[in-house]
Amino acid sequence: MHQEPDLTGITVDTSAPALVTGATGYVAGWLVKGLLDAGVTVHAAVRDPHNTAKIQHLLDFAEKAPGDIRFFAADLLEDGSYSEAMAGCRVVFHTASPFTTQVNDPQRELVDPAVQGTRTVLRSADATPSVERVVLTSSCAAIYTDAADCAAAPGGRLTEEVWNTTASLDHQPYSYSKLLAERAAWQIANAQDRWRLVVVNPSLVVGPAVNAQPTSESFSIVRQFGDGTMRHGAPRAGLGAVDVRDLARAHIAAGYLPDVRGRHIVSGHDTDVLELARVLLPRFGDRFPLPRRALPKPLVWLAAPTAGLTRTFVSRNVNHPWHADNGKSRRELGMEYRRLRESMEDMFEQLVERGSVSPGK
């Protein structure tokens, strides 16, 4: 378990520091580790640099790696907040953005930090002469909302040409926040020509966390596989999945390969919720109440409100396959994706080791 991001074929420039926003996060953790191991000085922007519980793993990485780390306090909702952290950096990795579906006020809790934060970070890039490239962690959510959208895409597969036209504050507001943030990013990037914007669009991120208490929504889904919530079955709701270590490599490739441009779908597997759980059966099926069969759509539709799902979500995702073209990421970022079973087993095993999932809990 815990293999490093494979940086074969990428020459990482260690002569200038790189900024990582949201360095405490699940996705950012592996990215920071990859940069430190490559010898980069990382400027880690976090909300609270004094919260040692949230940054200790990054300090531990830096101690063992050739690269150094410096922490800076920054908040997506404060103008100019990232300027100090960005000073002297050549590459900026903007990963910070709230990823949760449990919100009361989607405008304030999702859209404002995603969009204002992206504007704040990119305007600082405009004002920081050392910056040559900004890598934005967008999402496949900026490309589609529901699996049903895949069928409407040209050739039935999502590509980098496709933009989300169906999310709103009322329907999948997280996807809406990512769409608006990526649009804002391109608007700012296209108004200048000193630095280049490169966008990474991951599907659902899976795999082990380096941070001790991951809050990313990725973990809520996988916890439910083991705790009995889905003992009677899981919906065949189509989605894509990518390993967090592969995604770290994609970011580093986007930051340092000379010829990368535009958006990149970073997704290893076209899959669905049931399949994500089923790959865990050979190793964990005898100890945990993992879902084994597909829940009939009418049943999911009826139970939707009690499971925290909307009926529109059920109609437009359950029994709709998900297809995306990851060819550009393979060709231009040199991506090779690890097996889904490896990612899911490593993630689940870590949850078991940490006591975050136990049968019947």
99 lies in the binding site for ligand NAP (CB under 6 A)? yes
Q: How far is the CB of 305 from ligand NAP (least distance, A)?
A: 24
139 lies in the binding site for ligand NAP (CB under 6 A)? yes
Cα dihedral 328, 329, 332, 334 in deg (nearest 10) = -140
Q: How far is the CB of 244 from ligand NAP (least distance, A)?
A: 8
173 lies in the binding site for ligand NAP (CB under 6 A)? no
From 34, 113, 226, 240, residue interacting with ligand NAP (rule: CB under 6 A): 113
Tell me, residue by residue from 56 to 75, as one string, x for binding to ligand NAP by CB under 6 A and - for no binding: -------------------x
Output 30 or 284, the one with its CB closest to ligand NAP.
Answer: 30
Return the residue nearest ligand NAP (CB atom): 25
From 55, 82, 92, 97, residue interacting with ligand NAP (rule: CB under 6 A): 97
Q: Which stretch binds ligand NAP (CB under 6 A): 3-11, 30-38, 208-216, 345-353?
A: 208-216
From 202, 207, 238, 240, residue interacting with ligand NAP (rule: CB under 6 A): 202
For residue 296, give both structure tokens. Answer: 């009939």
Q: How far is the CB of 298 from ligand NAP (least distance, A)?
A: 28
Q: Are 201 and 143 in contact (CB under 8 A)?
A: yes
- Give dist(CA 80, CA 310) in Å, integer: 38
Output the DSSP codes for 132-189: -EEEEE--GGGT-SSTHHHHHSGGGSB-TT----S--SSS-HHHHHHHHHHHHHHHHH
Q: Which stretch binds ligand NAP (CB under 6 A): 18-26, 153-161, 228-236, 311-319?
A: 18-26
Q: What three-state secondary structure class fits 192?
A: coil
From 7, 10, 24, 222, residue interacting with ligand NAP (rule: CB under 6 A): 24
Footprint of ligand NAP on 258-317 (CB under 6 A): none
Pairing of strands 269-272, 238-243: antiparallel
Output 11 or 176, the one with its CB closest to ligand NAP.
Answer: 176
185 lies in the binding site for ligand NAP (CB under 6 A)? no
Q: Are 178 and 97 in contact (CB under 8 A)?
A: yes
91 lies in the binding site for ligand NAP (CB under 6 A)? no
Q: Which residue type, as a one-letter code, is found at position 196?
A: R
- Give dist(CA 145, CA 164) in Å, integer: 6
76 lies in the binding site for ligand NAP (CB under 6 A)? yes
Measure Cα distances from 175 to 25, 76, 150, 165, 247 in Å: 18, 18, 15, 10, 19
Q: Which stretch binds ligand NAP (CB under 6 A): 3-11, 126-134, 213-221, 252-260?
A: 213-221
Q: What three-state secondary structure class fits 268?
A: coil
Output 80 or 298, the one with its CB closest to ligand NAP.
Answer: 80
- Give dist(CA 157, CA 141) in Å, integer: 14
220 lies in the binding site for ligand NAP (CB under 6 A)? no
Burial category of 42 from C-beta neighbours within 10 Å (exposed 0-12, middle 13-18, buried 19 and up): buried
Question: What's the residue count for the chain?
Answer: 361
Contact footprint for ligand NAP (CB under 6 A): 22, 24-28, 46-47, 54, 75-77, 95-99, 113, 137, 139, 178, 202, 204-205, 214-216, 218
